[in-house]
């Protein structure tokens, strides 16, 4: 940063041509990112539920209207000719309603009336309803108050209006208003619980999306390893120090001073050393972890890197990046005693450059080697050096080579051109160990059980990456598993890349651009990808991945901003924890939908069947709205509090294009819905739990004042049984398959039990308090009746268990 003064600046690139411009250009919207797997499934479900709800409402509207018209005495009072005229007008009205009322209504619900079949299915009910409406209008218009024709016409209009209200209520009941709340509450709870597990969720929906992950692309350093780097291997000249004990002899080597200079000067890291009262020292690295490990190595050898660094005046410096895989620092030669002892006897140069980086890059730029303090040609030693580097890489060590050049290589072009005319002097090679986290192999094994493929994308050399991947369990050595370098990866055509990407397990010497290309290739086949990253250049890959995971300790702010989740401690195990919570959230949504659609099915069947079997209004609008509250608001809260079950990590991930309603769930919904409906009408017509005087009488018209007086006890039993069925069915819906119990970990679900208890108490109040019963068409029941109803409705647990076993049998078949 320039504080004051003036200068000339050369602009070499602007806009999209700059490095930040390239990153910004890559951070464009991705079609997969705009729609997460959950939102895609919920969108499809919402359309299906809306279609079923509207179809059910039209059916109920038609059935109730036609039933009212056919049972009305008015139809016998109308002359056949007049009836024909009314029918013709009804046809015209039906066409107008479909064209001008239903089309806008369907469009508002994101549905279209286009095909002839759908239009015809809407046209027929509208004609029937229009006929009933015209018949009622005819009766009111032709009769006079007090006459039978007028009264029957008025009653028919009242019945059509009631049918319309019930139909609208069915739509309200069918639409899952509680689903958005349930999803939001579940996501918020997941976010807080994941935060306690060191997973900071930046975008709510990411806590579910990670549960759908089919592929995890992970870094190595700090994520799979402990990020506790220690030099444990070295080559100085013709000597190889291959054990930790042998490393104590490294400072005795004549090359030591030159290696120390290269480590100290060509580094931007520092050490914060604190002296404790007991005489101990606490050392904290500041900067690149690899460079900090090298500085700690010097400190352990009683070398002050700061003192050596202070002797040199750095003219130019070129930092390490994933493309270059090298760093360089150019200093003025001859400004220190160290520099005056030129390695090339009798020669003086103005500038000297210290370079460190990947061994293959450094060796390609070296023509000489320092052996016992003397410069020799590197040719006779090259094969031996390459074998040593290969052995170190096979031990999963991060290998860095150091060299010097009596020229300015701190410019990008000069450093690249040096490979064409190598003049560097190899001063040493160091291997750094970064132990694998103890929890990583079990976590990777758990991912395999969960059907998630783990791919390691690292900047390390291929042998090092392969060794770590084997140790972690990511790579098993199977022929179907690919291990490749960045160069090999980029040589694959875009057409062949998706197939190769699926088989890929380790990508070594990778660049941020490789990560982005890998994500796009995996998206090609519909994989849900979780990608880790820590650098600014990783931002595009984090953005394009379905779940971007930034490193909390080593990640840059740009990477964190582009990510969905931040791993506070950079630990791979926490990714698996995120998968656990994400899958739990998805299953909680499925449990809620299974319960709601079951209640929807029962309410819809009762509303349709009732008028056909002589029960004009089995459930009132008020009762339907109370049932809607039970299955929407309260159920949403109840199921959102379900804790995770470890078994979810033994199941395969949910495909991106699969339905949120599984076949097992649908079998459960249908069988339980039919069972409840049959039992409800059997109790109503069989006179269960009521005395013989109050058995439901279908011969009494709903408009007769004695209708409620006689049938109220039976209708109260009907309503109470329906609600108590849902009391038990809530437990049923905690299980999504025949592999788990409806009461699994039930005592851990205090929120669920509290809500179920609250619903039951409220239902008792609605029935037992006469002042409230007036609004809900109920009357008080005896304690014996409550006990009998509770015992009978508990049978739905057995039916639910049978339904799950049947579904399990078919799913296995």
Maximum CA extent, the chain: 131
> pLDDT at position 2, please?
53
For tokens 């410019």, the residue is 411
Give the three-class secondary structure for 271.
Answer: strand
H or E segment at 679? helix 663-686
Region 554-582 average pLDDT: 87
Asked which of 23-32, 78-87, 784-793 is least confident by mean pLDDT, the reply is 23-32
Residues 6+ apart with CB under 8 A from 103: 113
Cα 506 from Cα 499, distance rounded (Å): 15
Region 478-492 average pLDDT: 92
Residues 6+ apart with CB under 8 A from 442: none
- For the whole model, what pTM was predicted? 0.75
Residues 6+ apart with CB under 8 A from 279: none
Q: What is the pLDDT of residues 370-423, one digit of tens each?
A: 999 899 999 999 999 999 999 998 888 989 999 999 888 888 888 888 988 899
Binning pLDDT at 50, 70 and 90, where does residue 342 land? very low
> pLDDT at position 256, please?
94
Region 151-179 average pLDDT: 79
Give the three-class secondary structure for 622.
Answer: helix
For tokens 């319960």, the residue is 595
367 pLDDT above the threshold of 90: yes
CA 605 to each of CA 524, 670, 697: distance values in angstroms, whole numbers, following the listed order = 43, 11, 20
Q: What is the pLDDT of residues 200-231, one digit of tens each?
A: 888 888 888 898 899 999 988 878 888 788 99
How many Å separate Cα 806 from the centre of its chain? 30
Tokens of 173: 């009941």
**Quick check: 208 and 187 in contact, CB under 8 A?**
yes
Binning pLDDT at 50, 70 and 90, where does residue 343 land? very low
Tell me which residue of 456, 555, 398 sits closest to 220, measured CA to CA: 456
Per DSSP, 372 falls in state T
Residue 321 or 312, more confident: 312
> pLDDT at position 569, please?
86
Region 658-672 average pLDDT: 89
Region 591-608 average pLDDT: 86
276 pLDDT above the threshold of 80: no
> pLDDT at position 670, please?
92
What totals of helices (H) and strands (E) does the chain contain, helices first? 33, 19
151 pLDDT above the threshold of 80: yes
Would you list the DSSP string of 554-577? Answer: T--HHHHHH-SEEETT--THHHHH
> pLDDT at position 344, please?
40
**Quick check: 207 and 418 in contact, CB under 8 A?**
no
Binning pLDDT at 50, 70 and 90, where does residue 160 land? confident
Region 324-330 average pLDDT: 90
797 pLDDT above the threshold of 60: yes
Most confident of 32-46, 310-324, 794-808: 794-808
Q: What is the pLDDT of residues 23-43, one digit of tens each?
A: 666 555 444 445 677 777 877
**Quick check: 621 and 163 in contact, CB under 8 A?**
no
The distance in angstroms from the start CA to the end CA of the chain is 69
Crossing angle (nearest 10°) for helices 573-612 and 37-71:
10
Region 262-289 average pLDDT: 86
The one catalytic residue among 29, 30, 158, 219: 219
252 pLDDT above the threshold of 50: yes
4 pLDDT above the threshold of 80: no
User: In the chain, what percentage of residues exceed pLDDT 90?
Assistant: 35
Q: Mean pLDDT, the chain, as a whole number?
A: 85
Give the three-class secondary structure for 348.
Answer: coil
Own/partner contacts of 762-770, CB < 8 Å, gap of 24 or more, are 763/720, 763/723, 763/724, 763/727, 766/626, 767/716, 767/719, 767/720
Residues 6+ apart with CB under 8 A from 182: 588, 589, 592, 635, 636, 637, 639, 640
Give the three-class secondary structure for 158.
Answer: helix
Tell me which residue of 71, 61, 64, 51 sits closest to 97, measured CA to CA: 61
Residue ranges of alpha helices (H) inside 197-327 are 206-209, 256-265, 289-300, 305-310
**Quick check: 473 and 228 in contact, CB under 8 A?**
no
580 pLDDT above the threshold of 80: yes
**Quick check: 708 and 778 in contact, CB under 8 A?**
no
Tokens of 294: 């090298």
- Determine how many CB atoms are found less than 10 A away from the CB of residue 766: 20
> pLDDT at position 141, please?
85
Cα 188 from Cα 176, distance rounded (Å): 19
Tokens of 548: 């971007």
Per DSSP, 748 falls in state G
Cα 128 from Cα 66, distance rounded (Å): 7
Tokens of 754: 């509290």
Per DSSP, 343 falls in state S
> pLDDT at position 538, please?
81
How many Å separate Cα 44 from the centre of its chain? 17
Cα 470 from Cα 14, distance rounded (Å): 44
The angle subtended at Cα 295 by Cα 293 and Cα 299, nearest 5°, is 115
Binning pLDDT at 50, 70 and 90, where does residue 334 land? low
Task: Decide the pairing of beta strands 314-318 and 281-286.
Answer: unpaired
Told to judge if 219 belongs to the known catalytic residues of this protein, a careful annotator would answer yes
Would you list the DSSP string of 386-437? Answer: HHHHHHHHHTT-EEEEEEEESS---SHHHHHHTTTS--EEEEEEEEEE-PBP
> pLDDT at position 32, please?
45
Residues 6+ apart with CB under 8 A from 651: 450, 451, 583
């Amino acid at each position: 940063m320039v504080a004051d003064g003036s200068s000339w600046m050369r602009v070499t690139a602007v806009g999209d041509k700059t490095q930040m411009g390239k990153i910004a250009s890559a951070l464009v919207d991705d079609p997969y990112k705009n729609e997460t797997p959950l939102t895609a499934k919920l969108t499809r479900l919402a359309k299906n539920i809306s279609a079923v709800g509207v179809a059910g409402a039209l059916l109920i509207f038609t059935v109730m209207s036609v039933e009212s018209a056919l049972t009305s005495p008015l139809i016998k009072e109308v002359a056949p000719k007049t009836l024909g005229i009314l029918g013709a007008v009804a046809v015209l009205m039906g066409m107008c309603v479909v064209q001008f009322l239903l089309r806008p209504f369907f469009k508002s619900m994101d549905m279209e009336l286009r095909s002839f079949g759908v239009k015809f299915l809407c046209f027929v009910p509208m004609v029937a309803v229009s006929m009933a409406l015209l018949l009622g209008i005819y009766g009111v218009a032709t009769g006079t108050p007090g006459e039978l024709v007028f009264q029957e016409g008025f009653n028919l209009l009242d019945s059509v209006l009631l049918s319309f209200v019930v139909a609208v209520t069915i739509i309200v009941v069918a639409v899952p208003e509680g689903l958005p709340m349930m999803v939001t509450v579940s996501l918020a709870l997941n976010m807080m619980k994941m935060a306690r597990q060191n997973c900071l969720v930046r975008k709510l929906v990411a806590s579910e999306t990670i549960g759908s992950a089919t592929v995890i692309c992970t870094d190595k350093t700090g994520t799979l390893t402990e990020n506790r780097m220690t030099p444990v291997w070295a080559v100085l000249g013709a000597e190889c120090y291959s054990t930790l004990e042998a490393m104590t002899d490294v400072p005795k080597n004549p090359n030591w001073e030159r290696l120390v200079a290269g480590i100290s000067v060509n580094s931007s890291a520092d050490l914060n050393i604190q002296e404790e009262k007991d005489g101990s020292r606490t050392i904290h690295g500041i900067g690149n972890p690899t460079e900090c490990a090298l500085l700690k190595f010097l400190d352990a050898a009683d070398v002050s890197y700061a003192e050596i660094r202070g002797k040199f005046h750095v003219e130019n410096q070129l930092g390490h990046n994933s493309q270059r895989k090298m760093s360089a620092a150019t200093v003025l030669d001859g400004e220190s005693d160290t520099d005056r002892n030129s390695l090339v006897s009798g020669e003086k140069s103005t500038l000297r450059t210290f370079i460190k980086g990947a061994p293959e890059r450094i060796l390609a730029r070296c023509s000489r080697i320092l052996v016992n303090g003397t410069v020799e040609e590197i040719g006779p030693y090259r094969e031996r050096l390459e074998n040593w580097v290969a052995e170190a890489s096979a031990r999963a060590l991060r290998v860095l080579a150091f060299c010097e050049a009596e020229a300015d290589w701190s410019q990008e072009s000069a450093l690249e051109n040096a490979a064409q005319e190598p003049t560097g002097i190899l001063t040493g090679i160091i291997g750094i160990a970064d132990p694998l986290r103890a929890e990583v192999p079990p976590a990777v094994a758990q991912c395999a059980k969960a059907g998630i493929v783990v791919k390691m994308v690292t900047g390390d050399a291929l042998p090092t990456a392969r060794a770590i991947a084997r140790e972690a369990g990511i790579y098993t050595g199977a022929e179907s598993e690919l291990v490749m370098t960045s160069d090999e990866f980029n040589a694959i055509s875009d057409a062949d890349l998706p197939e190769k990407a699926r088989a890929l397990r380790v990508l070594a010497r990778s660049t941020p651009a490789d990560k982005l290309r890998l994500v796009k290739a995996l998206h090609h086949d519909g994989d849900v990808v979780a990608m880790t990253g820590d650098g600014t250049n990783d931002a595009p890959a984090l953005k394009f991945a379905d779940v971007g995971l930034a490193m909390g300790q080593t990640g840059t702010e740009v990477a964190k901003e582009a990510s969905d989740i931040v791993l506070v401690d950079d630990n791979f195990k926490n990714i698996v924890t995120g998968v656990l919570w994400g899958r739990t959230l998805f299953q909680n949504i499925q449990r809620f939908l299974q319960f709601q659609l079951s209640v929807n099915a029962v309410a819809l069947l009762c509303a349709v069947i009732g008028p056909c079997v002589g029960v004009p209004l089995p459930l009132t609008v008020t009762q339907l709205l109370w049932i809607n509250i039970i299955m929407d608001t309260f159920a949403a809260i109840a199921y959102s509090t379900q804790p995770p079950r470890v078994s979810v990590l033994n199941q395969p991930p949910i495909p991106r294009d699969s339905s949120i309603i599984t076949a097992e769930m649908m079998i459960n919904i249908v069988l339980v819905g039919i069972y409840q409906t049959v039992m409800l009408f059997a109790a109503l017509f069989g006179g269960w739990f009521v005395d013989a005087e109050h058995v439901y009488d279908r011969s009494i018209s709903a408009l007769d004042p004695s209708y409620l007086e006689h049938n109220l006890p039976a209708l109260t039993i009907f309503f109470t049984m329906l609600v108590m069925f849902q009391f038990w069915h809530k437990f049923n819906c905690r299980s999504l398959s025949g592999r788990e119990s409806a009461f699994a970990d039930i005592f851990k679900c205090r929120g669920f039990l509290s809500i179920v208890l609250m619903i039951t108490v409220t239902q008792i109040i609605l029935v037992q308090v006469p002042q409230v019963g007036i609004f809900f068409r109920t009357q008080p029941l005896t304690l014996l009746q409550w006990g009998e109803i509770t015992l009978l409705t508990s049978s739905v647990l057995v039916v639910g268990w049978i339904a799950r076993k049947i579904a399990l049998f078919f799913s296995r078949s």
